[in-house]
Structure 1
Amino acid sequence: MNFASDNVTGASAPILDALVRANAGAMPAYGEDPLTASLTARFREVFEHPDLVVFPVATGTAANALALAAMVPPFGSCLCHAEAHVTTDECGAPEFYTHGAKLSPLPGTGGRIDPEALAAALAGRPLSVHRMPARALSLSQATEAGLVYAPEALARLCGIAHRHGLSVHMDGARLANAVARLGCRPAEITWRAGIDILSFGASKNGALAAEAIVVFRPDLAETIAHRRKRAGHLLAKGRLLAAQLHAYLADDHWLANAAWANRMAARLGTGLAALPGVRLAWPVEANEVFPILPGPLARRLREGGGAFYDWSSTSLPEGERVREDETLARLVTSFATQESEVEALLDLARQAG
């Protein structure tokens, strides 16, 4: 009953099979192989964009940091949500790879940036050599609270950013979950809404270790190849990254995995919310569930073998709070979560109540 993260699972069978096939024989190194060469065309098809450029990397941190480094100079700043992964969980990698640019946090319920707060922050920044100018906005899809941005909401935020001369980055570690939830085309919540660079996630949703920097504005791609090499993310056996991404996208495998994870999260959330004394901090929109649990229940679940994290309450809806005798928990499902695991945790919770 491990609901600590969608990183706790291994790789899905189609991706493992693809790796075995790609492992056979000899191919050119450092991304000069045919699998990597055909990856751009595959992404252009999926995102319906004729000019995008793709840079495979091994980790989401590398994707985010290198993407932001291509958008923000050392003397600039990047606006992001106060709980965004780029500012809370990457050990300063964006600042390191931008050579000192600053991440400027903004408020917003459920990890979503408030448009008014964004507009006010940009309007209130004096154009002075004494201040770091804003050069980028980073959005998370889905957010750290498991909520998704609809296309209209993204377009509004991107429009504000672009009017002030900012580029827009999307941390799409759980992009697949958002696409599955919204039932939209990937293009609708990326470049058509105004996203300039996407960190495309696969490792949380079936890949062994594969992410990609997807650049929708070719002018922003000019330095990424060199930045990736300098950062140690141009893999010698690049075909093994490309093989994972090809298998991930083939036959909508990425969306099937995400849809299953979302269904398991919805089932888990509905079951927990039905228990006495339990309420959900935010709606279940992707593959993360955030119940506010009575303290004794949280302890009983852990004692019974349930694994999950305590979570921050800083972006709760107005009027909601976590009392001293309660725990705000995060439970995450994945493509590999079994119905029996969900029911086992719910049975344990019912017994504890």
Structure 2
Amino acid sequence: MFFASDNAGPAHDAIIAALATANRGYAMPYGADPIMDEVRAKIRTIFEAPTAEVYLVATGTAANALALACYAQPWQTVFCSPVAHIHEDECNAPEFYAGGAKLTLVGDGAKMTPDNLRSAIEGEETRGVHGPQRGPVSITQVTERGTVYSVDELRALCDVAKSFDLPVHLDGARFANALVALGCTPAEMTWKAGVDVVSFGGTKNGCVGVEAVILFDPDKAWEFELRRKRGAHLFSKHRYLSAQMNAYLTEDLWRLSATKANANCARLVAGLKEAGVTFLHDPQANIVFCSFPRAAHQRLHDAGAVYYVWSGALEGDDPDEMLEARLVCDWSLSETQIDQFVALVKPA
């Protein structure tokens, strides 16, 4: 019963098999391997973007930070939500790789709105040389609270950014989960909505460790290559990144894995609703934020189901006190594991 993170699950067998195949013989390094040519072609086809440039890195932080650095000058600010991964979980990497560009937090929730984005943008470039200048907008899809922007919501945010001539970055660590939830195409969720660059995640959805940076403006390609090398994220044995991404894109594995993860989450949510659990955010993909009594948390821990994130003290005098929990489903969870967890949450 492991609900701590979709980072924690196993890699898909097809990914491991692709790595084993790539391990035979020799291949040119630094992204010159022939598998990377297949990856580039597949992503261009999937995203309906024949001129897009595609690069691979091993972590989501590298993907976000290097992508944003190509669009943010050191004297600019990046607009993002207050719970965005680039703000809460990347140790100032975007600021570091951009040479000091700051972050401006937009609104007070996981989702930005056009109105609060416009207000935040208008609040900058008000002090001339003394203040930060306006830089890119970064949108997280799926959000860090498990919610999903609709295509119309994405387009509305991009429209605001474009009205100020600002580029848009999409943090798609859970890109596939959002896409499956919306039932749209990759193009509709990115460049057709106004996104300039996307971090297309693989690690959380069945890969060992690979993320693609997709630049819809090929003029940024050389700068990204330089920044990736200078930032120590250009793999010499690149074929092992290529092999993962190639297998991920083959026979729709990326969609199928996300579909399974989202279905697991839907089963979990249905069971928790029957148990009377309170949801803090509407679960739309594979992440749940909810509250249930301390007594239920204690039952879970007594049964060994300790692999999830909770807040508050497990020990306490009030068994009915509500403690928050964050539960994440990956593709590999079984229905049995989900049902066992729900059974322990239900009052005895």
Q: For the superposition of Structure 1 and Structure 2, which TM-score range results when normalised by the shorter chain?
A: over 0.9
1:329 to 2:328 alignment:
no
Aligned residue pair count: 339
Instruction: List aligned pairs for 1:204-353, cutoff 5 A.
Output: 204-276=204-276, 278-306=277-305, 307-310=307-310, 325-350=321-346, 352-353=347-348
Normalised by the length of structure 1, the TM-score is 0.93
Q: Is the 8 A contact 1:127 1:133 kept in 2?
A: no
Separation in 2 of the partners of 1:305 and 1:162? 50
Question: Relative to 1, partners in 2 of residues 1:108 and 1:50: Cα closer, same or farther, differing over 3 Å?
Answer: farther
Separation in 2 of the partners of 1:243 and 1:209? 11
Separation in 2 of the partners of 1:271 and 1:336? 18
Give the superposition deviation at 1:295: 2.4
Q: CA RMSD in A?
A: 1.5
Q: Which runs of 5+ in 1 are unaligned?
A: 313-323
Please tell me the residue identity of whatever aligns with 2:10: G
Please tell me the residue identity of whatever aligns with 1:33: D
Give the superposition deviation at 1:81: 0.3
Instruction: List aligned pairs for 1:148-159, cutoff 5 A.
Output: 148-159=148-159
Q: Which runs of 5+ in 2 are unaligned?
A: 313-319
Q: Is the 8 A contact 1:295 1:326 kept in 2?
A: yes
Normalised by the length of structure 2, the TM-score is 0.94
Separation in 1 of the partners of 2:303 and 2:224? 47
Separation in 2 of the partners of 1:77 and 1:311? 32
Instruction: List aligned pairs for 1:10-29, cutoff 5 A.
Output: 10-29=10-29
1:116 to 2:141 alignment:
no
Give the superposition deviation at 1:291: 1.3
Give the secondary structure class of the aligned counterpart of 1:264: helix
Give the secondary structure class of the aligned counterpart of 2:99: coil
Of all paired residues, the percent bearing the same amino acid is 42
Question: Relative to 1, partners in 2 of residues 1:127 and 1:47: Cα closer, same or farther, differing over 3 Å?
Answer: farther
Give the secondary structure class of the aligned counterpart of 2:130: coil
Question: Relative to 1, partners in 2 of residues 1:45 and 1:311: Cα closer, same or farther, differing over 3 Å?
Answer: farther
Separation in 2 of the partners of 1:349 and 1:248? 35
Give the superposition deviation at 1:349: 1.4
Structure 1 residue ranges, 4+ long, deviating more than 6 angstroms after superposition: none
Deviations 1:18-72 (A, max 9, x none): 1111110111111111111332211100100111001100000000000011010
Separation in 1 of the partners of 2:92 and 2:123? 26
Deviations 1:91-120 (A, max 9, x none): 1111111111101111244x1112211011
Please tell me the residue identity of whatever aligns with 2:327: L
Give the superposition deviation at 1:342: 0.1
Q: Is the 8 A contact 2:138 2:171 kept in 1?
A: yes
